[in-house]
Amino acid sequence: MQHHEFVGQVQARARLADIGEATSAIRGTLQTLGERVPEGLADNLAAELPREIGEYLRQTAPAPSSGVRFDRDAFVARVADRAGMDPPQAAYAARVVLEVVDEATQGRIMDRLQSALPADLRQMVRSGSRGQLPG
């Protein structure tokens, strides 16, 4: 998947106004994910994505041993802060970004990614764009 296709998929599925909002959602989600998972896993995932998008995972990579521990609510709050969105919108956008990541990597790394996350974040990764839009 190419960069423009990735951003376009996020914009369309998350129903964002423009590519700027889509890019903010992608950046916020992947920077936060990069904090949460082990550095090696973040690097492996980044290598499977378009270069410009994969770099977001590397910008906040944690120490090599393990990622920073936080739950779904903290994950969403961090994405919301980074993307300039309210929490319900950020939660939905993050689900969409993770869905597009799964498609872009053809699922090759998502099983490993999910095993590195707590149950509440695993559920978010699996939920994708299905479900309700924020308020």
Q: What are the sequence ranges of the domains in the chain?
A: 3-125
Report how far apart, in Å, the C-alpha atoms of 68 and of each of 63, 102, 107, 119, 130 are: 9, 22, 24, 15, 28
**Shortest CA distance to 43 belongs to which of 61, 24, 25?**
61
pLDDT bin (cut points 50, 70, 90) of residue 133 is: very low
Architecture of domain 3-125: Orthogonal Bundle (1.10)
Residue with tokens 């509440």: 120
**Shortest CA distance to 53 belongs to which of 18, 90, 100?**
100
Task: Confirm if 50 and 6 have CB atoms less than 8 A apart.
Answer: yes
User: Distance (Å, rounded) from C-alpha 113 to C-alpha 52?
Assistant: 20
Please give the radius of gyration of the chain, using alpha carbons only, rounded to the nearest integer.
13
pTM: 0.89
pLDDT bin (cut points 50, 70, 90) of residue 65 is: very low
User: Percent of the chain at pLDDT above 70?
Assistant: 90
pLDDT value at residue 135: 44
Report how far apart, in Å, the C-alpha atoms of 125 and of each of 18, 53, 75, 76, 119 are: 23, 18, 12, 12, 10
